[in-house]
Amino acid sequence: MAVAFDEMNIPGGDLRPAYQELARWLKETPPEALEYRRQEAELLFRRIGITFAVYGDSESTERLIPFDVIPRIMSGKEWGVLEKGLKQRVKALNMFLRDVYHGRDILRAGIVPEDLIFQNPVFRPEMNGQQVPHDVYVHIAGIDIVRVDSNDFIVLEDNARTPSGVSYMLENREIMMRLFPDLFARHRVAPVERYPDELLSALRSVAPLSASGEPTVALLTPGVYNSAYYEHSFLADKLGIELVEGRDLIVKNNEVFMRTTEGLKRVDVIYRRVDDDFLDPLTFRPDSALGVPGLMSAYAAGNITLANAVGTGIADDKAIYSYMPDIVKFYLGEEPVLKNVQTWRCRESKDLAYVLDHLSELVVKEVHGSGGYGMLIGPAATKATIEAFREKLKREPEGFIAQPTLALSTCPTCTASGLAPRHVDLRPFVLTGSKSTTIVPGGLTRVALKEGSLVVNSSQGGGTKDTWILDE
């Protein structure tokens, strides 16, 4: 594995320009002061109630995501490149989805194999030929980005279903501004606080034609026991929209209403944080208590906008991921600005053979997995784990892809033994409305707090950092 790219230090002892002021500040600040404010930050998080639930963990049902007080800093120029690449990628994702559920040009052109679409459990035949309002499928995308050198941004994963984490981006900033006003005063950090406004206008812009001039938007949550519930309530609050559960909604004459103290009120746009499978027990899982019976027929009748649309899973599937560079070229006729990680498709026998031969060097992921569950990190795994995984892989090769173990870039991070480099990734949030695509400068930086660890997922012991884009 190559030496990781250090985002602060240039080999040889110099600092990258974006970090110079931070380094000066760190020199002036005694370690105790830093530790004190770190504790204060934790207290604030707990009091505000920014917690998440870890599934399968009965000990403590609510946990804090560790927050690292050292910001991750990027120059405006770097951000400019990233922004261009993200807009391009999300545009292609939306065009791909529209195509997959309508004309299927890309299948006929032989760019993406048919069976990968039609035999994919996240493909929704219900969406075939269905018009979605304003042709937008992915209103909110979270694209996971990593760096391995100073030149390139690499997409690790596209999240086109119900990406989470944006509340941490916003709250991390709030807390940093509260705890480190002096550090802020020494930088020009681009603000992120417009995100809720931009999200609301994006959601309103995609209201169905049958909506009134002032469309009603609601956020649909699975409820308080969902791991991301805090985020749902946070966003509903910031947007000033109702936070609804399935039982608050009812479908009548193919229109969706919420039950209010004044009777039924029509809803035009649902920002749903409930998975496709649970949305409507009449169409999908009949045992779902989280959904709204009849929602899909209101959707088909064009009376409600779901954000994101149903069936977007087919675009962020890890098996489709490996085709993204071709997808971008096919729809936009442009070279992709953001690179992909080299990916072996275990469904192809040549690739599978290579993967089986190199398991100890590779990261193997489930095609439909997320959250860092069910993956093998070759270099860190024991022999027994690798052998067990080998069997799984042979049994069901089409369920997996493999990638080289990337040396994710590092940022200085508070550890028990002082500041030390830790691996990070970045999830910026891309909003698509009827007219435009916007991204607030920044995103959620996740950091693997364990020394040498490459897993940044909060469910696997990762933490977060505030992400600063310098406004030069």
Partner 1 sequence: MLSRTAENLYWLARYVERAEYLARTIDATLRVTALPAAYIGKTNEWDSALLTAGVAASFYQTYEEANEHNVVDYLSFSVDNPSSIRNCIEAARLNSRSVRTALTSEMWDTINSAWIELQAVWSKGTSTREDLAKFLRFVQETSLRFDGSAYRTMLRNDAYWFSRLGLHLERADNTARILDVKYHVLLPEEEHVGGPLDFYQWSSILRSVSALTAYHWVYRETLKPWLVADLLILNSTLPRSLASCYDNLVRNLDQIGVAYGRQGPAQRHARGIRNRLEHSNMNDIFQHGVHEFIQEFITDNSRLGEIITKQYLI
Q: Which residues bind partner 1 (CB under 8 A)?
A: 46-49, 223-224, 229, 233-234, 236-237, 242-245, 247-248, 258-262
Residue 291 or 412: the one with the smaller Cβ distance to partner 1 is 291
- Smallest separation (angstroms) from partner 1 to the CB of 49: 5
Query: Closest distance between partner 1 and the C-beta of residue 261, in Å?
Result: 5
Gap between the Cα atoms of 295 and 254, Å rounded: 8
How far apart CA 215 and CA 429 sit, in angstroms, is 23
306 SS3 class: strand
Q: Provide, rounded to whole angstroms, the least separation between the CB of residue 432 and partner 1.
A: 25
Give the Cα separation of 322 and 404 in Å (integer).
13
Least CB distance to partner 1 at residue 240 (A)? 8
Task: Give the residue with the Cβ less far from partner 1, 246 or 378.
Answer: 246
Q: What CA–CA distance (Å, rounded) separates 391 from 405? A: 21
Closest separation in Å from C-beta 247 to partner 1: 7
CB nearer partner 1, residue 88 or residue 216: 216
* Residue 117: CB minimum distance to partner 1, A: 39
**Which is nearer to partner 1, 70 or 236 (by Cβ)?**
236
For partner 1, the closer CB: 261 or 417? 261
What the block records as the tokens of 168 is: 């941490």
Of residues 206 and 218, the one with the C-beta less far from partner 1: 218
Q: How far apart are CA 261 and CA 268, in angstroms?
A: 19
Supply 93's token pair: 């994702």
305-318 in b/e form (b: 16+ CB < 10 A) is: bbbbbbbbbbbbbb
For partner 1, the closer CB: 238 or 339: 238
CB 88 within 8 A of CB 334: yes
Closer CB to partner 1, 224 or 353, in the complex? 224
Least separation in angstroms between CB 180 and partner 1: 21
Per DSSP, helices labelled H in 282-406 are 295-300, 313-316, 318-321, 324-332, 349-357, 383-395
- Cα–Cα nearest to 458, from 69, 51, 71: 51
Nearer to partner 1, 262 or 335 (CB): 262
Secondary structure E strands in 199-261: 217-220, 242-244, 249-252, 255-260
**Least distance between partner 1 and beta carbon 219 (Å):** 9
Neighbouring CB atoms inside 10 A of 129's CB total 9
CA 253 – CA 275 distance, rounded (Å): 24
Smallest distance from the beta carbon of 262 to partner 1, in angstroms?
Answer: 5
Q: Tell which phi-psi region holds residue 317, choosing left (phi > 0), alpha (psi between -120 and 50) or beta.
A: beta
C-alpha distances (whole Å) from 83 to each of 153, 247, 347, 444 are: 11, 39, 33, 14
